[in-house]
Amino acid sequence: MQDKTVDDRSGLRGDCENCFGLCCVALPFARSADFAIDKPAGRDCPNLGEDHRCGIHARLRQSGFTGCTVYDCFGAGQKVSQLTFGGRDRRTAAPEDARRMSEVFPVVRQLHELLWYLTEALGLPAARPIHGELRRTLAKTEELTRLSPEELLALDVAAHRQDVNVLLLKTSELARAGIRGRKKERRGADLMGARLRGADLRGANLRGACLIAADLTGADLRGADLIGADLRDTGLADADLTDAFFLTQPQLNAARGSAGTRLPVSVTRPVHWTAGR
pLDDT at 5 over 60: no
Q: With a threshold of 0.85, does the pTM exceed it? A: yes
DSSP structure string for 163-183: HHHHHHHHHHHHHHHTS-SPP
Give the separation between CA 70 and CA 102, rounded to whole angstroms.
20
pLDDT per residue as tens digits for the range 106-133: 999 999 999 999 999 999 999 999 999 9
Virtual torsion, Cα 137, 86, 71, 47, nearest 10 deg: -170
CB neighbours of residue 108 within 10 Å: 27
Per residue in 191-233, pLDDT (tens digit) is 999 999 999 999 999 999 999 999 999 999 999 999 999 999 9
Q: 71-98, pLDDT tens digit by residue? A: 999 999 999 999 999 998 888 888 888 8
pLDDT digits (tens, 9 = 90+) for 132-173: 999 999 999 999 999 999 999 999 999 999 999 999 999 999
Residue among 3, 9, 1 nearest 249 (CA): 9
Angle at 2 between CA 8 and CA 112, to 5 degrees: 40
Q: Cα–Cα–Cα angle for 269, 145, 45, nearest 5°?
A: 60
pLDDT of residue 182: 75
